[in-house]
């Protein structure tokens, strides 16, 4: 069976005047179904661009990106929207909940665009919120919740669409360390339940939550292997220079 | 995402910022309100005019003869014969001869009083009614009796409502008043009630040529008017052999042409008012563009969750259309309110019963136009929103 995510020599090149920025500079990688992978790197390492490509928010300049065996790098806007809707669940650093909607409505949004009938939509949204232990906050708006609770709503939103991949972009970035640990524990649980999770972070300790780490520097993969090994971790520029 | 959900979203968004939504709608409200009132005024005027024409008699036909020198002219008897030969088409005829000159009542000389020489059926043709005494009779006409009938204004002003048997002078000839008419207008100076009617035979003698230049006919029924007009025209054509020497106008024709004039005026005014609808549309576009910028992040989130361009587009267009339609509904309400205010102002100021009545067609039209304007002017901002790049939109603060 084909891997769930496959990068075949992917480039993302920006031309800014005379400058050529190689945000993703020839990356090849595969992520299997059910894996929990952390993509780690400093700012400017290309990890955000990588996430955008995996999340079908952006397309590679060159090379192939196969999602579920399908080349999604050449699809148009609407097809990409459909793939985001059906196959991807996003968890953002800033939660990105819609402030005017209630918790339940927020979780329903992606199913709304998928055309899921109302009764089923509510049922699945409630189930997802139950999974993140927020059944008592259904009618609240995001501003009435704490940061940790808001992040759990966004996790529920990602889960509700029953996606192939959950993409978490610095999910603990805006949280205190204890709440952050709770959120990471929740992600680990979801992984154990069979979900594929891709975690994007600059933080070594958070990256270590995942069993597999892909480290990027200057748009290239410099480490791809199990966590807990010295080389897996992000180094400061000075350390890199020493090594 | 279906239409109903987009509509709900639009209502939600409008309710979240009521003041802004109201200000956005203001242009549409004013435009729709103005169109409603203007069309209503036009309707009121048409109704007023047609009802006053009806009181004068819509089956009136007026003939005026410019003539062709002295060689040929129409005989009064020929005109009377036209009526007696076609009783199912025409019911009455009366020559009408305007007398220019001075009127003298005792020592006073009213200068706005009109003097008209008429036949004995004139009263019936015009649907006037006698308040006192009698109208002119056939014998008066035949014998050129120096008698006259006066309007209510004259009777009230110069004779203290006791005019019968009194006299007045027209161009030096003394006439005895035999009848007083009921008030037709408001019994004021220079109105229909400020008039003197004398036998046309006398009037013709007083005028320079002695010829009778105009006639009033009344049709037997309203439907026979056109037939009557044709009949009279045929008769006149036989005499003059050209259409250039006489004109035959029926009251219905006059009513039609007046209504046509009012329609044109209303159209022009309505078009001017409609300009504010366009201005209102631009206002909506302006606010929608601001709204798209403000909600860039929301658009990014929705896109990341799988909203297609079409979904975003639909959301914003429906929001614009809903805002505009709501403005339209409020505008119609304002229009009706202003209409009733205008009606009462007209009644108190001008003492005429013009009721401003907005027409259903205009109201429906104004509403449809406001929805259309929302869609047209909402399109550009919606397009902008739909085209946003989700990555940039998500990063937008």
- Strand-pair partners of A199: A38, A168
Look at residues B191, B215, B241 and tell me which one is the last residue of a structural domain.
B241
Q: In the prediction, which pLDDT does A8 show?
A: 93
Is A73 within 8 Å of A5 (Cβ atoms)? no
Return the residue in B306, B308, B387 with the most chain A beta carbons within 10 A, the one to mutate for interface testing.
B306
Cross-chain residue pair A113–B311, CB shorter than 8 Å: yes
Is B179 within 8 Å of B130 (Cβ atoms)? yes
Is B82 within 8 Å of B232 (Cβ atoms)? yes
Pick the residue from chain A with its C-alpha nearest to B305: A110
Q: Is the pLDDT of residue B1 over 70?
A: no
Pick the residue from chain B with its C-alpha nearest to A82: B306
Residues B373 and B270 in one domain: yes
Cross-chain residue pair A96–B306, CB shorter than 8 Å: no
Residues B81 and B215 in one domain: yes
Return the DSSP state at A62: E
Number of separate domains in chain A: 1
Is A56 within 8 Å of A80 (Cβ atoms)? yes
Smallest CA–CA distance, residue B22 to chain A, in Å, is: 20
* Confidence at A240, pLDDT banded by 50, 70, 90: low
Pick the residue from chain B with its C-alpha nearest to A95: B301
Smallest CA–CA distance, residue B14 to chain A, in Å, is: 12
Cross-chain residue pair A77–B302, CB shorter than 8 Å: no
Chain B contact set for A116 (CB, 8 A) = none
Closest CA to A184 of A42, A31, A36: A36
- Strand-pair partners of B148: B177
Task: Establish, for the pair of chains A and B, how many residue pairs have beta carbons separated by less than 8 Å.
Answer: 60
Out of A197-211, B212-226, B300-314, pick the least confident: B212-226
Q: H-helix or E-strand containing B51?
A: helix B18-56
Residues B105-126: b if buried by 16+ CB within 10 A, e if exposed: beeeebeebbbbbbbbbbbbbb
Closest CA to B36 of B373, B370, B372, B360: B360
Mean of pLDDT values over B200-216: 82
Cross-chain residue pair B390–A57, CB shorter than 8 Å: yes
Q: Is residue B62 part of a domain?
A: no
Q: Is residue A150 part of a domain?
A: yes
**In this complex, is the C-beta atom of A162 within 8 Å of any C-beta atom belonging to chain B?**
no
Torsion region of B303: left, alpha or beta (phi above 0 gives left; psi -120 to 50 gives alpha): alpha
Q: Is residue B59 part of a domain?
A: no
Q: Is the pLDDT of residue B58 over 80?
A: no
Return the DSSP state at B65: E
Pick the residue from chain A with its C-alpha nearest to B394: A96
Cross-chain residue pair A110–B301, CB shorter than 8 Å: no
Q: In the prediction, which pLDDT does A237 show?
A: 57
Residues B100 and B211 in one domain: yes
Chain B contact set for A109 (CB, 8 A) = 302, 305
Out of A26-40, B164-178, B212-226, pick the least confident: B212-226
Q: Is residue A18 part of a domain?
A: no
Q: In the prediction, which pLDDT does B337 show?
A: 94
Q: Is the pLDDT of residue A150 over 80?
A: yes
Residues B12 and B132 in one domain: no
Smallest CA–CA distance, residue A52 to chain B, in Å, is: 7
Out of B19-28, B125-134, B183-192, B262-271, pick the least confident: B183-192
Closest CA to B30 of B338, B262, B291, B285: B338
Cross-chain residue pair A112–B394, CB shorter than 8 Å: no
Return the DSSP state at A91: E
Q: Is the pLDDT of residue A229 over 90?
A: no
**In this complex, is the C-beta atom of A100 within 8 Å of any C-beta atom belonging to chain B?**
yes
Distance separating alpha carbons of residues B314 and B325, to the nearest angstrom: 16
Of B58-67, B113-122, B344-353, where does the model show the most confidence? B113-122
Residues B210 and B131 in one domain: yes
Q: Is residue A28 part of a domain?
A: no
* Confidence at B112, pLDDT banded by 50, 70, 90: confident
Q: In the prediction, which pLDDT does B72 show?
A: 66
Residue B60, Cβ neighbours under 10 Å: how many? 21
Q: Is residue B316 part of a domain?
A: yes
Mean of pLDDT values over B151-169: 89
Pick the residue from chain A with its C-alpha nearest to B1: A113
Residues B269 and B360 in one domain: yes
Range of B78's domain?
69-241
Residues B163 and B263 in one domain: no
Mean of pLDDT values over B234-246: 85
Cross-chain residue pair A113–B394, CB shorter than 8 Å: no
* Confidence at A195, pLDDT banded by 50, 70, 90: very high
Quote the mean pLDDT of chain B: 87
- List, for residues B8-17, the tens digit of each pLDDT value: 888 888 888 8
* Confidence at B175, pLDDT banded by 50, 70, 90: very high
* Confidence at B65, pLDDT banded by 50, 70, 90: confident
- List, for residues A13-62, the tens digit of each pLDDT value: 988 888 888 999 999 999 999 999 999 998 889 898 999 999 999 889 99
Look at residues B206, B241, B276 and tell me which one is the last residue of a structural domain.
B241
- Chain B interface residues (partner A, CB cutoff 8 A): 1, 5, 12-13, 16, 297-298, 300-311, 390-391, 394
Distance separating alpha carbons of residues A18 and A117, to the nearest angstrom: 51
Q: What's the burial of B199, exposed, middle or buried (CB within 10 Å: 0-12/13-18/19+)?
A: buried
For residues B110 and A198, the model is more confident at: A198
Identify which of B302, B308, B391 has the shortest CB distance to residue A52: B391
Mean of pLDDT values over A164-174: 92
Return the residue in B3, B7, B304, B391 with the most chain A beta carbons within 10 A, the one to mutate for interface testing.
B304
Crossing angle, helix B18-56 and helix B251-294, to 10 degrees? 180
Is B369 within 8 Å of B274 (Cβ atoms)? yes
Range of A156's domain?
34-57+76-242
Q: Is residue B137 part of a domain?
A: yes
Q: Is the pLDDT of residue B54 over 80?
A: no
- List, for residues B289-301, the tens digit of each pLDDT value: 998 999 999 999 9
Q: Is residue B64 part of a domain?
A: no
Residues B266 and B220 in one domain: no
Q: Is A194 helix (H, G, I), strand (E, B) or coil?
A: coil
Interface pTM, i.e. ipTM: 0.91
Q: Is residue A22 part of a domain?
A: no
Distance separating alpha carbons of residues B138 and B198, to the nearest angstrom: 12
Residues B327 and B391 in one domain: yes
Out of A33-37, B126-130, B233-237, B351-355, pick the least confident: B351-355
Percent of chain B with pLDDT over 90: 31
Smallest CA–CA distance, residue B313 to chain A, in Å, is: 13
Q: In the prediction, which pLDDT does B177 show?
A: 93
Q: Is residue B247 part of a domain?
A: no
Q: Is the pLDDT of residue B56 over 90?
A: no
Mean of pLDDT values over A61-88: 90
Q: In the prediction, which pLDDT does B383 show?
A: 92
Q: Is residue A229 part of a domain?
A: yes
Quote the mean pLDDT of chain A: 90
Residues B203 and B280 in one domain: no
* Confidence at B71, pLDDT banded by 50, 70, 90: low
Q: In the prediction, which pLDDT does A236 show?
A: 58
Q: Is the pLDDT of residue A238 over 60?
A: no
Identify which of B1, B12, B301 has the shortest CB distance to residue A112: B1
Instruction: Say which CATH number the domain at A124 has.
Output: 3.40.50.300
Smallest CA–CA distance, residue A14 to chain B, in Å, is: 15
* Confidence at B252, pLDDT banded by 50, 70, 90: confident
**In this complex, is the C-beta atom of A86 within 8 Å of any C-beta atom belonging to chain B?**
yes
Q: Is residue A71 part of a domain?
A: no
- List, for residues B20-47, the tens digit of each pLDDT value: 899 999 989 999 999 899 989 888 888 8
For B100, list phi and psi in degrees, rounded to 5: -100, 140
Q: Is residue B246 part of a domain?
A: no
Residues B41 and B119 in one domain: no
Q: Is the pLDDT of residue B347 over 80?
A: yes
- List, for residues A89-148, the tens digit of each pLDDT value: 999 999 999 988 899 999 999 998 998 999 999 999 999 999 999 999 899 999 999 999
Q: Is residue A95 part of a domain?
A: yes
Q: In the prediction, which pLDDT does A232 show?
A: 67
Q: Is residue B61 part of a domain?
A: no
Distance separating alpha carbons of residues B168 and B176, to the nearest angstrom: 7
| Residues 39 through 78 of chain A touching chain B, CB cutoff 8 Å | 52, 55, 57-58, 77-78
Residues B97 and B225 in one domain: yes
Mean of pLDDT values over B194-221: 85
Identify which of A57, A96, A113 has the shortest CB distance to residue B1: A113
Q: In the prediction, which pLDDT does B213 show?
A: 81
Return the residue in A49, A96, A165, A166 with the most chain B beta carbons within 10 A, the one to mutate for interface testing.
A96
Cross-chain residue pair A96–B301, CB shorter than 8 Å: yes
Q: Is the pLDDT of residue B280 over 90?
A: no
For B186, list phi and psi in degrees, rounded to 5: -110, 20
Q: Is residue A11 part of a domain?
A: no
Cross-chain residue pair B390–A113, CB shorter than 8 Å: no
Number of separate domains in chain B: 2
* Confidence at B69, pLDDT banded by 50, 70, 90: low
Identify which of A100, A113, A115 has the shortest CB distance to residue B305: A113
Lookup: tokens for A5? 């995510």
Cross-chain residue pair B308–A78, CB shorter than 8 Å: yes
Q: Is the pLDDT of residue B186 over 70?
A: yes
């Amino acid at each position: 069976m084909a891997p769930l995510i496959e990068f075949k020599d992917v480039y993302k090149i920006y031309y800014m005047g005379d400058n050529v920025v190689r945000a993703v500079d020839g990356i090849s990688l595969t992520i299997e179904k059910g894996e929990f992978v952390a993509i780690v790197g400093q700012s400017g390492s290309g990890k955000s661009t990588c996430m955008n490509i995996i999340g079908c928010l952006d397309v590679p300049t060159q090379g192939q990106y196969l999602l579920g065996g399908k080349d999604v790098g050449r699809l148009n806007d609407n097809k990409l929207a459909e793939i985001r809707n059906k196959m991807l669940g996003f968890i953002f650093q800033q939660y990105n909940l819609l402030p005017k909607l209630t918790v339940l409505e927020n979780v329903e949004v992606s199913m709304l665009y998928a055309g899921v009938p109302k009764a089923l939509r509510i049922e699945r949204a409630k189930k997802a919120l139950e999974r993140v232990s927020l059944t008592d906050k259904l009618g609240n708006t995001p501003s009435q919740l704490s940061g940790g609770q808001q992040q759990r709503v966004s996790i529920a939103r990602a889960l509700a669409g029953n996606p192939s991949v959950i993409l978490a972009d610095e999910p603990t970035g805006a949280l205190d360390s204890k709440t952050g640990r709770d959120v990471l524990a929740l992600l680990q649980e979801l992984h154990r339940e069979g979900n594929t999770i891709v975690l994007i972070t600059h933080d070594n300790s958070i990256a270590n939550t995942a069993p597999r780490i892909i480290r990027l520097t200057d748009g290239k993969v410099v480490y791809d292997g199990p966590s807990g090994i010295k080389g897996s971790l992000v180094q400061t520029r000075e350390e890199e220079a020493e090594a | 995402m279906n239409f109903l959900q987009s509509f709900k979203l639009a209502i939600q968004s409008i309710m979240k910022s009521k003041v802004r939504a109201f200000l956005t709608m203001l242009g549409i409200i004013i435009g729709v309100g103005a169109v409603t009132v203007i069309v209503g005024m036009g309707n009121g005027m048409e109704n007023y005019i047609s009802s006053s024409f009806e009181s004068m008699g819509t089956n009136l036909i007026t003939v005026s003869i410019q003539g062709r020198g002295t060689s040929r002219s129409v005989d009064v008897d020929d005109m009377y014969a036209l009526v007696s030969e076609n009783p199912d088409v025409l019911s009455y005829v009366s020559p009408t001869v305007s007398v220019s000159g001075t009127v003298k009542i005792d020592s006073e000389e009213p200068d706005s009083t009109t003097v008209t020489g008429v036949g004995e059926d004139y009263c019936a043709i015009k649907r006037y009614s006698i308040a006192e005494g009698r109208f002119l009779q056939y014998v008066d006409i035949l014998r050129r009796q120096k008698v006259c009938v006066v309007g209510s204004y004259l009777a009230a002003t110069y004779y203290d409502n006791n005019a019968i048997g009194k006299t007045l002078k027209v161009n030096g000839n003394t006439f005895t008043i035999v009848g007083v008419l009921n008030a037709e207008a408001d019994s004021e100076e220079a109105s229909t009630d400020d008039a003197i009617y004398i036998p046309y035979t006398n009037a013709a003698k007083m005028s320079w040529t002695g010829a009778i230049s105009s006639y009033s006919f009344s049709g037997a029924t309203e439907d026979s008017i056109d037939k009557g007009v044709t009949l009279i025209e045929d008769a006149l054509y036989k005499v003059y052999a050209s259409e250039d020497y006489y004109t035959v106008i029926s009251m219905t024709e006059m009513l039609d042409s007046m209504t046509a004039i009012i329609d044109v005026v209303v159209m022009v005014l309505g078009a001017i008012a409609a300009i504010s609808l366009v201005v209102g549309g631009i206002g909506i576009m302006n606010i929608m563009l601001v709204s798209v910028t403000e909600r860039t992040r929301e658009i990014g989130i929705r896109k990341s969750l799988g909203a297609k361009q079409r979904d975003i587009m639909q959301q914003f267009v429906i929001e614009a259309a809903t805002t505009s339609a709501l403005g339209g509904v409020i505008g119609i309400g304002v229009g009706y309110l202003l209409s009733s205010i205008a009606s009462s102002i007209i009644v108190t100021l001008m003492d005429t019963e013009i009721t401003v009545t907005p027409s259903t067609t205009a109201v429906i039209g104004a509403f449809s136009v406001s929805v259309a304007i929302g869609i047209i002017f909402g399109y550009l901002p919606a397009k902008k929103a739909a085209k946003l790049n989700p990555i940039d939109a998500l990063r937008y603060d």
